[in-house]
Structure 1
Amino acid sequence: MEITAKQWLEKIHNLPHQGRVKIMNVCGGHERSITMAGLRQALPEYIELVPGPGCPVCICPEEDVFEAIQLALHEDIILVAFGDMLRVPVNVKKIQIRTLEQAKAQGADIRPIASPIEAVIIAKENPQKPVVFFAAGFETTTAPVAAMLVQGIPDNLSVLLSGRLTWPAVSMLLESGAPGFDALIAPGHVATIMGPEEWGFVVAKHHIPAAVSGFEPVSLLAAMYSVLRQLNEKRYFLDNCYSSLVKPGGNASAQKHLNTALSIYDANWRGVGVIPDSGFKLNLQYEKYDTRKQFPDYADDARKRAGKMPAGCDCAQVVLGKIYPSECKLFGKTCLPRSPIGPCMVSDEGACRIWWSGGLRDVS
């Protein structure tokens, strides 16, 4: 008989009381489930749940968004991108175009899509016109992009890739000496593709308990119970609390596509800086489909400004789990879902957007 969410909560409340414990959840999907289900309010007061760097829209480098905007405005192309990317603002003067959505309103041919298949379809329907796929995302989104490339795409389709890996950001926090959390909830969808073993370094190298979780409250609470019990018993290991989908070794086919089409490099994260081995780029044999090779003039090095955010915006600190969304002075005032200033207020996976939409206005 499966344990219910209510029973997991009871088990957590029955654990021996300990000092303040901070648990970081890496994934924006986790944060959305936690907030919408009211799990913070249901847990014992000594437990803090810290949102982490799990929103690809939030960390997509400003120069990549700017490049996509300029391409769409000044070249006779069709630009396609995952829907949330159309609203991500860049840090320019108010009189300038700040988002792909604004560029579309100015006449640029920009189309939101939900999957790489749609990019291929649009390219086939418009064979005489270049189609640029602005592909931002973590492993779960980048794997289908890699599969698209391996399977073959129309010659008029190119990829402006802004893919990132999740674990290097957590590794960077742990290596900093002040990670800001005592236990980790690892993302189940990433582990489904890459394998749960990818998160073993958290325990083996840093002696911090970790558990892989799905996205329902019952899985999240099981993972929280696991890491709390590990802390109590001082016996740390990587627990798989999403075994229905997460299997040892992950998805071999997806990994093969990633390794065939892409390679890993030291990549920039918006507001954070360059994180070693954290980005995907096209391999040599697929370079002819690289938008940056086809339109080299738009790769503007002047916009690679690590740490730069709009004045007063603390999105980078939110992404790194250093502050809560409500601690940003723009949160809920000038920065709102309908008029986002920082990227964390744009996506349904952004912590600021989730907190505001979920009615969470303070840390308590």
Structure 2
Amino acid sequence: MPLNAKTWLKEINSLTLPDKVKIMNVCGGHERSITQAGLRSVLPKSVHLIPGPGCPVCVCPEEDIYEAIQLALKESVTLVAFGDMLRVPVNLPRHEIRSLEQARSASADIRPIASPTEAVLIAKNNKEKPVVFFAAGFETTILPVASMLAEGVPDNLFVLMSGRLTWPAVAMLLESGEPGFDALVAPGHVSTVMGPEEWTFVAEKHHIPTAVAGFSSTSLLAAFYSTLRQLIEKKYFLDNCYPEVVHKGGNPTGKQYLENVLKVVDANWRGVGIIPNSGFALKEKYASHDARVRFPSYADNSRQRIGEMPAGCDCAKVVLGKIYPNECKLFGKTCTPREPIGPCMVSDEGACRIWWANRQRH
């Protein structure tokens, strides 16, 4: 009979723990579940849950957002993007257009969408006008974009790709020599697509306890227990605490779509820098639907301000798990969901937005 959350919590409290253990959760969805359920308040005080780089909106590079803004303003196109992307600010003076939302207010044809099927429908219903889909996200979000292209799209639909893979960011932290965590809870949805095997390197190469978790308190607490026990016993392995959804090998059909449509490239992460083999780009056979091929370049290399956020903003440190959201001087003061300064306060997968929305101040 499977254990429930109460039982897993009892098991955790029965462990003889070190004075301080830091467990990083990669996924923004995990952080939302942890905070909404108040799991930090019921775990032993020695257990510290660290939000990680699991918000695609937060790490979308400034130059890509700037490029999308300029394309929408200067070309006769309809630009569509997932809703959260419209509010992410770039580092510009306040009198300039700093977000897609502001560009929309300045008469650019910009529309929020919830899925790639909406982009296809908009293109079909507006055949006389190019439609540019600004596609930002991790593997689970980019997979539907890849399958959309593989299955065929209208001639007037183009993709401005800004997709990222999750595991290279964790690899970068581990290889930095200062990862900032003692155990890792790997993302359930990404593992559903890519397979849990992607995360074996954390345990096998770096000797860091690792568990894949779902989004319920039961699954998360099971993962916390697994990693804590691994740490105590010094036996490091990848544990799948989301077996009802995550299976060995992941989703073969989905992975095939990704492989057929996209190539993996070095990519910039906002506030972090270039991470090798961490980004998606369209393969040459889909160049006819690549917005960067079809339209003049509005890329501005000066926007690649590696590690730089707006003045006083510590989103980069939050993304890397170096500080908690409330340790940023702007948190809840000049930076709020209504008027975000940094990207972590925009998306409901951003740690700052999650903490603020759930009144997590400490």
Q: How far apart, CA to CA, are the structure 2 residues paired with 1:132 and 1:12?
A: 49
What do the CA deviations read for 1:197-218 (whole angstroms, capped 9, x no partner)? 0000001110001000001111
SS state at 2:344 partner: helix
Instruction: Provide structure 1 residue ranges, at least 5 long, that are not aligned to the other structure.
Output: none
User: In the alignment, what sits opposite 1:78?
Assistant: 78
1:114 equivalent in alignment to 2:83: no
1:316 equivalent in alignment to 2:301: no
Q: How far apart, CA to CA, are the structure 1 residues paired with 2:125 and 2:178?
A: 52
User: In the alignment, what sits opposite 2:176?
Assistant: 176
User: In the alignment, what sits opposite 2:361?
Assistant: 361
What do the CA deviations read for 1:74-114 (whole angstroms, capped 9, x no partner)? 11110000000000000000001111111111111111101
- Post-superposition shift, 1:169? 0.3
User: In the alignment, what sits opposite 2:186?
Assistant: 186
User: In the alignment, what sits opposite 2:207?
Assistant: 207
- Counterpart of 1:356, as a letter, is W
What do the CA deviations read for 1:148-201 (whole angstroms, capped 9, x no partner)? 111111110000000000000000000000100000000000000000000000
Q: How far apart, CA to CA, are the structure 2 residues paired with 1:22 and 1:344?
A: 21
Q: How far apart, CA to CA, are the structure 2 residues paired with 1:7 and 1:207?
A: 27
SS state at 1:203 partner: helix
1:283 equivalent in alignment to 2:283: yes
RMSD: 0.7
SS state at 1:229 partner: helix
- Post-superposition shift, 1:323? 0.7
User: In the alignment, what sits opposite 2:345?
Assistant: 345
What do the CA deviations read for 1:16-52 (whole angstroms, capped 9, x no partner)? 1322000000000000000010000000000000000
Q: How far apart, CA to CA, are the structure 1 residues paired with 2:358 and 2:232?
A: 31
The residue correspondences of 1:28-43 to structure 2 (distance < 5 A) are: 28-43=28-43
- Counterpart of 2:134, as a letter, is F
Contact map agreement 1:292 1:299 (CA 8 A) in 2: no
User: In the alignment, what sits opposite 2:11?
Assistant: 11
SS state at 2:206 partner: coil
SS state at 1:335 partner: coil
Q: How far apart, CA to CA, are the structure 1 residues paired with 2:119 and 2:144?
A: 12
SS state at 1:296 partner: coil
SS state at 1:266 partner: strand
- Counterpart of 1:81, as a letter, is A
Identity %: 69
User: In the alignment, what sits opposite 1:218?
Assistant: 218
What do the CA deviations read for 1:40-70 (whole angstroms, capped 9, x no partner)? 0000000000000000000000011011111
What do the CA deviations read for 1:265-314 (whole angstroms, capped 9, x no partner)? 11000011000000000001001111111123212222122112100001
- Counterpart of 1:17, as a letter, is L
Q: How far apart, CA to CA, are the structure 2 residues paired with 1:41 and 1:95?
A: 42
- Post-superposition shift, 1:73? 1.1
Q: How far apart, CA to CA, are the structure 2 residues paired with 1:150 and 1:298?
A: 27
- Counterpart of 1:313, as a letter, is C
Contact map agreement 1:166 1:278 (CA 8 A) in 2: yes
Q: How far apart, CA to CA, are the structure 1 residues paired with 2:274 and 2:295?
A: 23
User: In the alignment, what sits opposite 1:307?
Assistant: 307
- Post-superposition shift, 1:222? 0.4
Instruction: Provide structure 2 residue ranges, at least 5 long, that are not aligned to the other structure.
Output: none
Q: How far apart, CA to CA, are the structure 2 residues paired with 1:17 and 1:68?
A: 49
User: In the alignment, what sits opposite 1:53?
Assistant: 53
User: In the alignment, what sits opposite 2:157?
Assistant: 157
Q: How many residues align?
A: 362
What do the CA deviations read for 1:293-349 (whole angstroms, capped 9, x no partner)? 112321222212211210000100100001111111011100000000000000000
> 3-12 or 295-304: which moved more?
295-304
State the 4+ residue runs in structure 1 displaced beyond 2 angstroms. Answer: none
SS state at 1:298 partner: coil
User: In the alignment, what sits opposite 1:166?
Assistant: 166
- Normalised by the length of structure 1, the TM-score is 0.99
Q: How far apart, CA to CA, are the structure 1 residues paired with 2:279 and 2:296?
A: 19
Q: How far apart, CA to CA, are the structure 1 residues paired with 2:84 and 2:349?
A: 10
- Post-superposition shift, 1:229? 0.7
Q: How far apart, CA to CA, are the structure 2 residues paired with 1:61 and 1:47?
A: 32
Q: How far apart, CA to CA, are the structure 2 residues paired with 1:310 and 1:294?
A: 32
User: In the alignment, what sits opposite 1:260?
Assistant: 260
